[in-house]
Amino acid sequence: MDQDTWQRAVRRCETLLATQTRLVLVHGDLHLGNVLDGGPSRGLVAIDPKACVGDPCFDAVDYVVAGAGHEGVAVRCRQVAAACGLDENRLYTWSQVIAPMAAIARLSRGGPEPEIEALLALAR
């Protein structure tokens, strides 16, 4: 991870925060491991919240980034944004912000190199 990639993510994050017009309650740590099947009566259940107020797109980032590869993120952003009434461009930019952190997490766990490279490409 080079300094330019990290600084680009910081600038994107600052821009998103400065242009945020709507705040909502967000889970704060919504990823595939924090959603369980509660059965037919409950449906999906989100666990382990880090409840905070933020951008409506933030909680959806892990769902568009996880295993999507660079080309897949844009497609997932379009689909998730349409399904959830989110701003597709903001969701994509949040994905670019999160990508370097996701790459670091995968590096620390010895994740697959193609996935790490895809995340770094997304961050550029």
The one-digit pLDDT tens for each residue of the chain (124 residues) are 789 999 999 999 999 999 999 999 999 988 889 999 999 999 999 999 998 999 999 999 988 888 666 668 999 899 999 999 999 999 999 999 999 999 998 888 887 788 888 888 999 8
Beta strands in 24-103 (DSSP E): 24-26, 35-37, 44-46, 52-54
- pLDDT the model gives residue 71: 62
- pLDDT the model gives residue 106: 84
- pLDDT the model gives residue 63: 85
Chain-centroid distance of CA 57 in Å reads 8
The two three-digit tokens of residue 67, written as one number: 């295993």
Phi and psi for 37 in degrees, rounded to 5?
Answer: -85, 110
Q: Are 23 and 52 in contact (CB under 8 A)?
A: no
- pLDDT the model gives residue 118: 86
For residue 9, what is the DSSP state?
Answer: H
Task: Please state the pTM of the whole predicted model.
Answer: 0.86
Q: Are 29 and 50 in contact (CB under 8 A)?
A: yes
The two three-digit tokens of residue 86, written as one number: 């989110």
C-alpha dihedral (108, 48, 77, 41), degrees to nearest 10: 140
